[in-house]
Amino acid sequence: MKPGPPPIDISGRREGVWFERGFVWVCRVAIVLPLVTLVWLLGGVIARGLGRIDLGFLLDAPSQLDATTGGIWPALMGSLWLIVITAAVSLPVGVGAALYLEEYGKRTRLGTVVEIAIANLAGVPSIIYGMLGLGLFVRWMALGETVIAGALTLALLVLPVVIMSSREALRTVKDSLREAALGLGATRWQTTRHVVLPMAIPGILTGAILAISRAIGETAPLVVVGAVAFILYAPDGLDAEYTALPMQIFQWTSNPRREFLTNAAAGIVVLMFTLFLLNSIAILLRNRFQKRMY
Amino acid sequence: MSAPAPEVALPAVAARTRAQRASGPGERVIELGLAACSAVSIVVTVGIVLVLVFEAAEFFRAVPLTKFFGDTEWTPLFKDNQHFGIWPLVMGTLVTSAIAMAVALPFGLLAAIYLSEYAAPRTRRMLKPALELLAGVPTIVYGYFALTVLTPFLQQFIPGLAGGNMLSPGIVMGILIIPMVSSLAEDAIYAVPDSLREGALGLGAGKLPTILRVVVPSAWSGIAAAMTLAVSRAIGETMIVAIAAGNQAKFTTDPREPAETMTAYIVNISKGDIPNGTLEYRTIFAVGLVLFAMTLTMNLITYRLSRRLRAQSRA
Amino acid sequence: MTLPSPPPTTEPAMKIRVSGLKAWFGTHEVLKGIDLPIPAREVTAIIGPSGCGKSTFIRCLNRMHELVTGARSEGQVLLDDTDVYAPEVDPVLLRRRVGMVFQKPNPFPSMSIRENVLAGLRLTKRMGGRKPAEVCEKALRQAALWDEVKDKLDKPGTSLSGGQQQRLCIARTLAVDPEVVLMDEPCSALDPIATARIEDLLHDLRRDYTIIIVTHNLQQATRVSNRTGFFLQGELVEFDLTDKIFTSPQDRRTEDYITGKFG
């Protein structure tokens, strides 16, 4: 017979119940507080900037002298140029790399080295990409401080994002489909081109949009590769001087005259609205994609 | 993994080689093209190292390493009293990053624990994307917020808080990093097998002790990986500190004071009009090299830790 | 191997009385009304083919079943006359009296052998004035593991072999001083030698504990248990002294199962 303490009363009170309740509340606060900050940030920006936005703000060149006139036209067009070229360069290269890694190069030596390179690049600060762009495009390739140099720099910056999201999308395509196509006598490229890619396209596009949102908001690398802070004209070619929306916001924010902060806020509203639109499209795409899978 | 695979066991591979033989050079060209695309990543990695090392080498030919690492004053733009001691910039980076981690770590970890162990599935589906929004806001916007909203707000409570200071951008950087910490830590916590939770609950342990003393310690390597990645992100963050930290290269640990981080210094030189090829200009590559070395170290630790995590969850 | 001691002539005291126990995973009913009295200080074996609900049954006894999302149960489980499903009962406290050993050994990887043994008491803040070294040695001796690990108590629990890990988990369970120990196929992941060690251990443990063991292995049931219950498709087909179940089963289905006609 086991001598022992009297049995525990299982209907009794347990230690630490209140502590746990308190802890869960602390957790809730830890989630809600950052979200409140986000609302605070967005609310403040909208309250300050929304009134400043009109057609003139969108279509005029900025003014150095008067904070109440002028706008973001050159910055808007600069961002557009940058994004289009960035997408045109990074998407084909990124998707191509993803195709190689998923469909061709599994277990090859090149594949392994590329894996490590991508893992490393994804963690490199964006400003370092700016320095690469400065050394490689602006100086060595002598492109100068031009739209094309800025766009190529951004393209390299978002390349890991494009590759990683494209690989995710390719991985959702079942191997049995690949084997079926190969079994019918299709070549590896025919299989990839006509079976795998069409199924992965929505996922790839979602990732591409997210990569482009990243590029739109980037400032630091553009500063380094010489986007100008103040310019009156939209770029008119690949070799033009340029600025970008976040650059313009940066310029207004760091302007010692406080009244320009209103312009910065208005610029931020435009920037955030653009990102919101892009992300909504990405979410719509993803939802449609997911529905098709079931 | 490099051992030759047995032909018989892999019908897909066998089919592939046959198909390639049948289809002539076109297939080969395409494969080479795709391989070239993937090789861009290697070129970029090598390119970064080469650019930084070559330009920094030029700098170190003029300024010896002993002056670079043996001085606590950083005044490269002064005409008559030039100092090239990197420490003020390193200190600025470390203090702002430490503040960011002090925010991101507890918040991110608590959020991860709540989302993975306590939140109802519906709550989780709502909160997780909401939290991810924080990471989607451009850093320039955070910089504006730190300078124009948070600093004035904090000045009401903290006497002596300068207009440009390390505290405010540090906090904002922390908020930016919270989703990264929480989602990586959540993955790690999620990967802890349920058998361990059951083991502790079966002993009559409450849910919270089970989480804090069994689940979280078992997820340690993943959580540590989340931390190192977050540190790397904080060290490399640029615009928030460039806008709100005051841009004065002071050797100080007081978060109320202005400072300049390595990243902010690079931005400030780049946007100014210091001519290319001068010694002053080359400082940014020396600073960039130190920055790159620091983030690379953190990234390598992260890589190691997450490999260990994967090995663990396989066992 | 010694046979189980002959059953006492008088009916033993009952530790747990189960009546009308039903359990579900979502809409799938896995237990369809179980009535079963479990005597104190005996080993009760639960046998039956895979998916018959035997694991779910013992997980209902310490309310581990309800931890799975979508799982629920109904009916009465009396532990010494207290209904463990009564609303005022705290399942966490219940599990301190009704401990559990799982199918796969699950020592806590972040803890040493010593910390694993003490984990139950420490996690529940019940070390009190107890001496860690004494608690640890006693539990490890009970689990017949002491001699093998006494020189490496600070090594991680996961460094032990599978059989040792399972005995460590038994020691961990015994250290919190439960009255009932539930064992869910504790030997299914172990080799024959490790299995034999655990079976020997059960002989010693039943002096002090009420043990309920789920097993796939019919020989194991005959070797270790006093009584055996046969489950089939969520129902208790037959429950009797182990000798009787294996020599003269009353139900045709029990006979078919133990003679290997299905399963």
Which residue numbers of B have CB closer than 8 Å to C's CBs?
193, 195-196, 198-207, 209-210, 213-214, 217-218, 220, 312
Distance CA A124, CA A121 (A): 5
Encode A7-64 in three state secondary structure. CCCCCCCCCCHHHHHHHHHHHHHHHHHHHHHHHHHHHHHHHHHHHHCCHHHHHCCECC
User: pLDDT band at B5, cuts 50/70/90?
Assistant: very low
Distance CA A109, CA A167 (A): 18
Distance CA B245, CA A47 (A): 25
User: pLDDT band at B2, cuts 50/70/90?
Assistant: very low
| Interchain proximity B203–C92, CB inside 8 Å | no
Angle between helices B87-113 and A17-49 (to 10 degrees): 120
Any domain includes A162: yes
| Interchain proximity C93–B217, CB inside 8 Å | no
Question: How close does chain A come to C15, measured CA to CA in Å?
Answer: 13
Distance CA B67, CA B73 (A): 10
Give per-residue burial for C127-152: e unless 16+ CB within 10 Å, then b.
eeeeeeeebbbbbbebbbbbebbeee
The predicted structure's pLDDT at residue C263? 63
Measured between CB atoms, which of B38, B45, B107 is closest to A110?
Answer: B38
| Interchain proximity A217–B114, CB inside 8 Å | no
Q: Which residue ranges of chain A lie beneath pLDDT 50?
A: 1-2, 293-294
User: pLDDT band at C69, cuts 50/70/90?
Assistant: confident
The predicted structure's pLDDT at residue B10? 42
The answer to whether C15 faces chain B, any CB pair under 8 Å, is no
| Interchain proximity B198–C109, CB inside 8 Å | no
Q: Where are the beta strands (DSSP E) in chain A?
A: none
Residue-wise pLDDT for C13-68, tens only, equals 899 999 999 999 999 999 999 999 999 999 999 999 988 999 999 999 999 999 99
- Residue A201's Cβ-count burial label (10 Å; 0-12, 13-18, 19+) is middle
Token pair 């393209």: residue: A155
Choose among A153, A87, A167, A110: nearest CA to B44: A153
Residue at A64: amino acid letter: Q
Q: Which residues pair with B59 in a beta bridge?
A: none
| Interchain proximity C92–A12, CB inside 8 Å | no
C179 to chain A: which residues are within 8 Å by CB? 7
B217 to chain C: which residues are within 8 Å by CB? 108, 110-111
pLDDT (mean) for B113-136: 93
Residue-wise pLDDT for B140-197, tens only, equals 999 999 999 999 999 999 999 999 999 999 999 999 999 999 999 999 999 999 999 9
Choose among A243, A223, A245, A230: nearest CA to A128: A223
Q: Which of C69, C92, C101 to mutate to test the interface with B (most CBs of B within 10 A)?
A: C92
Distance CA A81, CA A59 (A): 16
Which residue numbers of C have CB closer than 8 Å to A's CBs?
79-80, 82, 84, 86, 88-90, 92-94, 96-97, 124-125, 177, 179, 207-209
Is 60 exceeded by the pLDDT of residue B315? no
| Least confident segment among A27-31, B35-39, B77-81, B118-122 | B77-81
CA A40 vs CA A36, A276, B164, C105: distances in Å: 6, 17, 21, 50
| Interchain proximity B133–A38, CB inside 8 Å | yes
Residue-wise pLDDT for B286-295, tens only, equals 999 999 999 9
Is 80 exceeded by the pLDDT of residue C177? yes
pLDDT (mean) for C74-99: 95
Distance CA B5, CA B13 (A): 10
- Helix, strand, coil shares of chain A, percent, nearest 5, are 70, 0, 25
- Residue B135's Cβ-count burial label (10 Å; 0-12, 13-18, 19+) is middle
Residue-wise pLDDT for C91-129, tens only, equals 999 999 999 999 999 999 999 999 999 999 999 988 888
Distance CA A223, CA A243 (A): 9
Q: Give the CATH number of the domain where residue A95 resides.
A: 1.10.3720.10
What does the angle CA B188 – CA B191 – CA B197 come to, to the nearest 5 degrees?
A: 110
Residue at A272: amino acid letter: M
Residue-wise pLDDT for A248-258, tens only, equals 999 999 988 88
Question: How close does chain B come to A236, measured CA to CA in Å?
Answer: 22
| Interchain proximity B235–A125, CB inside 8 Å | yes
Total of domains in chain A: 1
- Closest Cα in chain A to C91: A10
The predicted structure's pLDDT at residue B7? 40
**DSSP states along B181-218:** HHHHHHHHHHTS-HHHHHHHHHTT--HHHHIIIIIHHH
The predicted structure's pLDDT at residue A230? 81
A213 DSSP assignment: H
* Cβ-proximal residues to B217 (8 Å cutoff; 6+ apart), any chain: C108, C110, C111
Q: Domain range holding A94?
A: 59-293
How many CB atoms within 10 Å of residue C242? 24
ipTM associated with this complex? 0.92
Write the Ramachandran bin of B119: left for phi over 0, alpha for psi from -120 to 50, otherwise beta: beta
Residue-wise pLDDT for A274-291, tens only, equals 999 998 988 888 777 665
The predicted structure's pLDDT at residue A5? 62
The answer to whether residues C77 and C244 touch, using CB atoms and an 8 Å cutoff, is no
Helix (H, G, I), strand (E, B) or coil at C214: strand
Q: Does domain B87-314 have CATH number 1.10.3720.10?
A: yes
At A218, list the tokens.
């980037």
Choose among C15, C38, C56, C76: nearest CA to C231: C56
Distance CA A18, CA A15 (A): 8
Q: Which residues pair with C231 in a beta bridge?
A: C236
